[in-house]
Amino acid sequence: MLTINEHYLKLQASYLFSDIAKRVAAFQAAHPDVEVIKMGIGDVTNPLPQACVEAMHRAVDEMGTVSGFRGYGPEQGYEFLRKAIARNDFQARGADIRADEIFVSDGSKCDTGNIQELFATDVKIAIPDPVYPVYLDTNVMAGRTGGFKDGRYEGMVYLDSTRANSYVPELPREQVDLIYLCFPNNPTGSTITREQLRVWVDFARENRALILFDAAYEAFIRDPGLPHSIYEIEGAQEVAVEFRSYSKSAGFTGTRCAFTVVPRACRAFDSRGNKQLIHPLWNRRHSTKFNGVSYPVQRAAEATYSSEGKAQCEALINGYLANARIIRQGITEIGFHAVGGENAPYVWIETQKDSWEFFDLLLNKAGVVCTPGAGFGKCGQGYIRLSAFNSEANVIEAMARIKKALA
């Protein structure tokens, strides 16, 4: 008899986006004349930077020639891309990361989900609340939690991000082994300072723990004082793995390219307490279970580091940040407490009522779709997330409607 992995049965069905779609469809059917503006999505809307399009075209043409054809590439990524990443994303910021510490992949979603395969089942996991659901669900699948009770999985340590701590969680009071952090944050748009990040790095060092640092929104940082990489913090190389993606920085959500940084010095322990390096384990996992990102896509990712590519990506992000500013200003003007939107494409808004109730209010009175904060965890109740991934005209129109509906 073939039995299933019963941990999958613990997973809470994610009704969030299907619930949103259902409510929007019902509203649209009742009000066919209203043009609904969708500000709920965490997906980019602008086309690819021209430099990336051209690089991809050139690479496809190369593949169609005898001399330029390439079959399987290195699983870890082509040297040209790994070198460009190490130089531009890390060394240029004073972080001593080498090309052979970069693992190119088809997405941070997969990487953040796959990395936990390297660790024992009984490790203690700390996860932020509200959270990007991938961190949580992949650990549930792996059997690292108990059942779901009162909105949370048993056995997990939740790191509350609330107004009281400015949406940067405090250190856990108990021993934890694996810590997920994401800054700039999805869904709150909050950021972490160097000093605050240093506290986490020191904690991981003292507690023989490891930090999984998701920097998917690093490119949105405009405040020059904020760290772009955890490796800007001294001592982080031994205790942190970092995830980066071209999805939000270059509009690659449909193109697919990302990378994970596993420094040579990064360590965990075996059951006898002996130090074990993570780099060879991840290298083994990656080369056994993954066969590399396509050559044209890696050339497109490389093009984000050319001078034209850098300027085009920056213009792309500046557009979204301008939208975020309009959202944040508009919502603050009518008296709501909000964070994010300054170094991130998301604005996190305290609603003073149930998340879904506020969702319905915005939909019915303004024809605007948001994401109810409760969908990201218990601490998201009483909040909504507005996303800046839209056209400027739509954002301006949406905020005018919201002001009229709520003021």
**What residues make contact with ligand PLP under the rule CB under 6 A?**
42, 107-109, 132, 182, 186, 214, 216, 245, 247-248, 253, 258
Q: Considering beta carbons, is residue 248 or 366 the nearer one to ligand PLP?
A: 248
Q: How far is the CB of 112 from ligand PLP (least distance, A)?
A: 7
Chain-centroid distance of CA 134 in Å reads 9
Closest among 318, 338, 320 to 328, alpha carbons compared: 338
Residue of minimal Cβ distance to ligand PLP: 107
Q: Considering beta carbons, is residue 185 or 363 the nearer one to ligand PLP?
A: 185
Whole-angstrom distance, CA of residue 232 vs CA of residue 242: 12
Whole-angstrom distance, CA of residue 202 vs CA of residue 198: 6
| 347 Cβ neighbours under 8 A, 6+ residues apart | 189, 324, 327, 328, 331, 338, 339, 340, 341, 385, 386, 388
Q: How far is the CB of 39 from ligand PLP (least distance, A)?
A: 15
Q: How far is the CB of 111 from ligand PLP (least distance, A)?
A: 8
Q: Considering beta carbons, is residue 182 or 366 the nearer one to ligand PLP?
A: 182
Q: How far is the CB of 242 from ligand PLP (least distance, A)?
A: 12
Q: Considering beta carbons, is residue 251 or 367 the nearer one to ligand PLP?
A: 251
CB 361 within 8 A of CB 367: no
DSSP string, 266-311: -EEE-TTS-EEESHHHHHHHHHHH-----HHHHHHHHHTTSHHHHH
Q: How far is the CB of 248 from ligand PLP (least distance, A)?
A: 5
The residue to which tokens 């300027």 are assigned: 311
Q: How far is the CB of 379 from ligand PLP (least distance, A)?
A: 16
Q: Considering beta carbons, is residue 185 or 312 the nearer one to ligand PLP?
A: 185
Q: How far is the CB of 388 from ligand PLP (least distance, A)?
A: 13
Q: Is the dihedral of CA 132, 138, 141, 144 positive or negative?
A: negative
Q: How far is the CB of 198 from ligand PLP (least distance, A)?
A: 22
Q: Considering beta carbons, is residue 189 or 367 the nearer one to ligand PLP?
A: 189
Q: Considering beta carbons, is residue 96 or 117 the nearer one to ligand PLP?
A: 117
Whole-angstrom distance, CA of residue 135 vs CA of residue 157: 12
Q: How far is the CB of 283 from ligand PLP (least distance, A)?
A: 20
| 57 Cβ neighbours under 8 A, 6+ residues apart | none
Q: How far is the CB of 346 from ligand PLP (least distance, A)?
A: 9
Q: Considering beta carbons, is residue 136 or 361 the nearer one to ligand PLP?
A: 136
Q: Considering beta carbons, is residue 109 or 198 the nearer one to ligand PLP?
A: 109
**Whole-angstrom Cα Rg for the chain:** 22
Q: How far is the CB of 64 from ligand PLP (least distance, A)?
A: 28
Tokens at residue 101, please? 């510490």
Tokens at residue 390, please? 């839209």
Q: Dihedrals φ, ψ of 383, to 5°?
A: -130, 160
Q: In Å, what is the CA distance from 26 to each residue of 20, 34, 373?
A: 10, 12, 21
Neighbouring CB atoms inside 10 A of 280's CB total 11
Q: Considering beta carbons, is residue 245 or 371 the nearer one to ligand PLP?
A: 245
Q: Considering beta carbons, is residue 298 or 363 the nearer one to ligand PLP?
A: 298
Q: Give first-to-last CA distance, the chain, whole Å.
A: 62
355-358: long-range contacts (C-beta < 8 A, 24 or more apart)? 355/380, 355/381, 355/382, 355/383, 355/384, 358/384
* DSSP code for 231: G
